[in-house]
């Protein structure tokens, strides 16, 4: 087995102490080593193929440079790919790695995923959902930093990053109004989740601003699936005065 370069090897090659190598490679050398010395250390590390021992570092600091991402259906939702990439890109900017687990909505797998991440001493956990809804974060996840993404912690124990559903519903309806439509239907998703409530509010606001009366017959419930889109459209087109445009709550509904 080839000899794996150590920090001692880098220090010898750059003619500095191991302490200098440590502060340079950690990026905290400002005021403690010159830029010339820092570059010499970086060049030596590159030439030798030196890689930091992250396991040893985690034992020293009590944490790894890993951020966990746990989601219910993050691997199967078309939208979630962008969410994961955004998290990964931002983590990488801070020299962190993203560890992602898709639980498929399985509570046991979710608990196991959180425990595994905690055993790896992750820097924090992003708790995500396929669609904006209220969730109950596993208690174990609160043993580290945790942020909800596209979800709200029902008990308010963690901060959340969520979309502006009202504005989204408003702008979608506004686009149809600007195209000349006045009979605009909405096929919503689960009626009590934040995404459904907010988008319906935005839809109603846009119609009100346009001076159009609400027609309850044009708003249909759904479950976010292809089938609910098919069923709702069949009902809408059977109305005496059917809509000329439809705002759908999800991509899958729109495909239906």
Q: Mean pLDDT, consecutive 10-residue segments, the chain of 256 residues?
A: 75 89 80 88 86 56 73 68 84 85 84 85 87 84 89 89 93 96 92 87 96 93 87 94 93 87
- What is the count of structural domains for the chain? 3
Which of residues 161, 189, 218 is at a domain's end?
161
Q: Are residues 178 and 154 in the same domain?
A: no
**What is the pLDDT at residue 106?**
83
**What is the pLDDT at residue 240?**
94
Q: 2 in a domain, yes or no?
A: no
Q: Are residues 186 and 238 in the same domain?
A: yes
Q: 1 in a domain, yes or no?
A: no
Q: 115 in a domain, yes or no?
A: yes
Which of residues 93, 127, 161 is at a domain's end?
161
Backbone angles phi, psi at 151, to 5 degrees: -160, 160
Residue pLDDT, tens place only, 67-97: 999 888 766 666 677 788 888 888 888 888 8
CATH number for the domain spanning 95: value is 3.40.50.2300
**What is the pLDDT at residue 1?**
43
**What is the pLDDT at residue 62?**
47
pTM reported for the whole predicted model: 0.65
Q: Are residues 69 and 152 in the same domain?
A: yes
**What is the pLDDT at residue 114?**
87
Q: Which domain holds residue 31?
A: 7-52
């Amino acid at each position: 087995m080839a000899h794996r370069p150590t920090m001692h090897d880098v220090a010898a090659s750059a003619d500095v102490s191991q302490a200098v190598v440590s502060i340079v490679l950690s990026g905290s050398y400002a005021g403690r080593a010159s830029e010339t010395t820092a570059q010499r250390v970086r060049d030596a590390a590159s030439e030798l193929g030196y890689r930091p021992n992250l396991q040893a570092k985690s034992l020293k600091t009590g944490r790894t440079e890993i951020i966990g991402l746990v989601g219910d259906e993050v691997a199967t939702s078309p939208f979630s790919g962008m969410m994961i990439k955004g998290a990964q890109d931002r983590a990488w900017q801070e020299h962190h790695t993203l560890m992602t687990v898709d639980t498929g909505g399985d509570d046991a797998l979710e608990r196991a995923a959180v425990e595994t991440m905690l055993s790896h001493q992750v820097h924090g956990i992003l708790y995500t959902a396929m669609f904006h809804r209220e969730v109950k974060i596993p208690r174990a996840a609160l043993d580290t930093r945790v942020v909800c993404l596209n979800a709200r912690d029902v008990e308010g124990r963690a901060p959340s990053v969520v979309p502006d559903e009202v504005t989204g519903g408003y702008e979608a309806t506004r686009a149809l109004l600007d195209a000349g439509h006045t009979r605009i239907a909405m096929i919503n998703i689960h009626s009590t989740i934040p995404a459904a409530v907010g988008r319906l509010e935005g839809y109603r606001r846009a119609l009100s601003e346009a001076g159009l009366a609400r027609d309850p017959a044009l708003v249909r419930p759904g479950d976010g699936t292809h089938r609910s889109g098919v069923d709702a459209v069949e009902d809408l087109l059977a109305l005496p005065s059917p809509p000329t445009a439809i705002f759908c709550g999800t991509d899958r509904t729109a495909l239906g």
